[in-house]
Amino acid sequence: MAPDLTILVNQLQTRISSMEETINKHMAEKTAWMAQQSKLMDLILSLNETIKSLQVPTTQQPLGKKKVTNIAASGEGSSSADSMHTPTQSSAKESYAVKAAKAAKAEKKPTLRKQTKARAPTVDTMKRILSEPTGPSSYKFVYLPCRHHLRHSAVRKLLTTVKVPQSRVIDVQFPAKGTVALLVHSEYHQELTENLESHGISTKKEFNPFAADIIGDQQHANKTVRTCLRLPQHLGNSIMRFFTAATSVYKLPDNTFAQYLEKRKGTAPPSLVNKADTIAAFQAIPPASDNAMDGVEETAPINNQ
| Domain end position, chosen among 208, 232, 255 | 208
C-alpha to C-alpha distance for 30 and 21, rounded to whole angstroms: 14
Q: Are residues 256 and 299 in the same domain?
A: yes
| Domain count for the chain | 2
pLDDT at 264: 86
Q: Are residues 233 and 202 in the same domain?
A: no
Structural domain containing residue 176: 137-208
C-alpha to C-alpha distance for 56 and 88, rounded to whole angstroms: 20
C-alpha to C-alpha distance for 212 and 249, rounded to whole angstroms: 12
How large is the greatest C-alpha to C-alpha distance in the chain, in angstroms?
Answer: 138
Is residue 92 domain-resident?
A: no
Q: Are residues 178 and 252 in the same domain?
A: no
pLDDT at 303: 41
Is residue 176 domain-resident?
A: yes
Is residue 22 domain-resident?
A: no
pLDDT at 149: 84
Q: Are residues 275 and 198 in the same domain?
A: no
pLDDT at 152: 87
Q: Are residues 197 and 249 in the same domain?
A: no
- In sequence order, which residues have a C-beta less than 8 Å from that of residue 72 and are 6 or more positions away? 78
Q: Are residues 233 and 172 in the same domain?
A: no
pLDDT at 282: 47
Mean pLDDT, consecutive 10-residue stretches, the chain (305 aa), reads 76 90 92 91 90 70 51 48 51 70 69 64 76 74 88 89 88 87 89 90 85 64 80 88 79 82 71 48 44 41 41
pTM of the model: 0.37
